[in-house]
Amino acid sequence: MWPTMYWKKLSRAGKPNFGARNYTVWTGRRTLPPHRQSRNGASAQTCQNSRTPWAGVGRWWLALMLAATVVLGLGQGAIAAPPSPSLPTTAFDQGRIALERGDYGTAAAYLDQALDQGDHRATVYRYRCAVAVQLGDAAGAIAPCSAAIQADPQVPQPYLYRGLAHYRLGHQGAAHGDLTAYLKARPGDSIARYNRGLVAFAQGDYGAAIADYHTALAQPDQLDPTALAQVFNDLGLAHLAQAQPAVARAYLDQAIALDGDNLRAYFNRGCVCHHQRQYAAALADFEQVLARDPTHAETYLNRGKVRQQLGDTAGAIADWHQAADYFAAQGQTAGYHQAQQLLRQRSTPAMALG
């Protein structure tokens, strides 16, 4: 159910420009295990030709983790105790039981049946929008969430689900409004606060993103080490977007200290090292990524640029060939053309790195 990664350009007018250098940090949403297609058909990016932080799995993945948490609490104060699992009496009961056991496809079918049979209670719509979020069906979550809110605007969960769906669809203003409405009722929800920070980042409001991330970190008991690492990763990206690479690197160091297998943080820190011209450190970070994901095309492209800068032309060419092969296998034509361009330019002076 996990959505594919995407890239948000930071090279538009009004965004920070670090001199003449080009770099990209990884801001994709990844599936688990990762796959390589980017959102809306856009190419996967590298440290060349854009400035894009990777907020990583954190964005939609943590949003779904939050949704999963709240699904378990949907009944609090709003839904009667379920009937015995051995005696489901209605389509809604069947759908609720399927949702509780994680069978989201079956849950969706039963809840749709309940709605078709005229059961239009707010509870049914709330469960249906929760299922849509769990299935990664952002477009399909909007209508039942809106119906649930119209039927009972005092229950906060549908605002959360609709906010996550709007975020996935790129409706950042609507997403921010819904998550704010949810947080008015649940101000202590750290993961919801983190998700609103991600929305603010997508809107280019990096200061607001940083504020929400820090508020999320103020209640770390709600976050396991992997989730904490995601927040520190995104704090690093927000500071990088504010042209503060040293601060960004410090937060990325914390992300890696919390989760030594965090590919996003290694990749992003490698790109920060590019910018800081610390090529040996960048090389080490990119090698950490490839040790864990030996098919990651963007990292081969970036490691090749580091090797070129260090005078290892043969190594750079080998990496760019690898990048081209993996980009082609993953259907990322723009990335493939970037690798091919670097190969054509291999006899020219080394390009500046970021």
- The reported pTM is 0.72
Residue 217 lies in a domain: no
Residue 144 tokens read as 């039942």
**Domain stop point among 143, 162, 188:** 188
Kindly state whether residues 29 and 108 are assigned to the same domain: no
- Residues 46 and 82 reside in one and the same domain: no
Give me the CATH number covering residue 111.
Answer: 1.25.40.10
Q: Which amino acid is at 127?
A: Y
pLDDT mean over 168-176: 96
Q: Is the distance from CB of 275 to CB of 22 less than 8 angstroms?
A: no
Q: What is the rounded CA–CA span in Å between residue 126 and residue 114?
A: 13
330 inside domain: yes
Q: Which region, left, alpha or beta, applies to residue 77 given φ > 0 means left and ψ of -120 to 50 means alpha?
A: left
- DSSP per-residue string spanning 98-153: HHHTT-HHHHHHHHHHHHHTT---HHHHHHHHHHHHHTT-HHHHHHHHHHHHHH-T
Q: Evaluate if residue 222 carries a pLDDT over 90.
A: no
Q: What is the DSSP letter of 267?
A: H
Same domain, 274 and 167: no
Residue 38 is given by DSSP the state: B
Q: Do 322 and 258 share a structural domain? A: yes
Average pLDDT on 80-91 reads 57
At 50 the pLDDT is: 31
Cα separations in angstroms, 63 against 10, 70, 196, 242, 310: 22, 11, 10, 24, 40
- Output helix, strand, coil percentages for the chain, rounded to the nearest 5: 65, 0, 35
Q: Tell me the pLDDT tens digit for each residue of 236-294.
A: 999 999 999 999 999 999 999 999 999 999 999 999 999 899 999 999 999 999 999 99
> Average pLDDT, stretch 141-146?
95
The structural domain count of the chain equals 2
Judge if 112 and 150 occupy the same domain: yes
Q: What number of CA atoms fall less than 13 Å from residue 162's CA on the CB side?
A: 25
Confidence of residue 86 (pLDDT cuts 50, 70, 90): low
pLDDT digits (tens, 9 = 90+) for 4-50: 222 222 222 222 222 222 333 343 333 222 222 333 333 334 454 33
Tokens 């989760």 appear where? 259
pLDDT score at 186: 94
Asked if the structure places residue 196 within a domain, the reply is: no
Can you tell me the distance from the alpha carbon of 251 to that of 55, in angstroms, rounded to the nearest whole number? 13
Tell whether 193 is covered by a domain. Answer: no
Going from the C-alpha of 344 to that of each of 24, 77, 303, 321, 329, the distances in angstroms are 21, 65, 17, 11, 20
Q: What are 158-171's pLDDT values in tens digits?
A: 999 999 999 999 99
Structure tokens at 129: 């929008």
Same domain for 287 and 253? yes
- Tell me if 260 is assigned to some domain: yes
pLDDT at 14: 29
Residue 90 falls within a domain, yes or no? yes
Residue 158 shares a structural domain with residue 275: no
Q: What is the dihedral of CA 203, 204, 210, 215, to 10 degrees?
A: -10
Between CA 234 and CA 65 the distance in angstroms is 17
Above 90 in pLDDT, residue 3?
no
Query: Tens digits of per-residue pLDDT, 41-64?
Result: 333 344 543 333 343 333 333 433
pLDDT of residue 88: 59
What distance in Å separates the CA atoms of residue 111 and residue 106, rounded to the nearest whole number? 9
- What is the rounded average pLDDT of the residues 124-147? 93
Instruction: Flag whether 163 is in a domain.
Output: yes
> What whole-number distance in Å separates Cα of residue 350 and Cα of residue 310?
10
Percent of the chain with pLDDT over 90: 68
The answer to whether residue 198 sits within a structural domain is no
Q: State the average pLDDT over residues 60-71.
A: 36
More confident residue, 60 or 132: 132
Q: Are residues 256 and 354 in the same domain?
A: yes
Q: Looking at 188, 214, 248, which one is the last position of a domain?
A: 188
Separation of alpha carbons 206 and 209, rounded Å: 5
For the residues 288-306, what does the mean pLDDT come to? 96
Q: Which domain holds residue 123?
A: 63-188
59 or 146: which carries more pLDDT confidence? 146
Quick check: 61 and 234 in contact, CB under 8 A? no
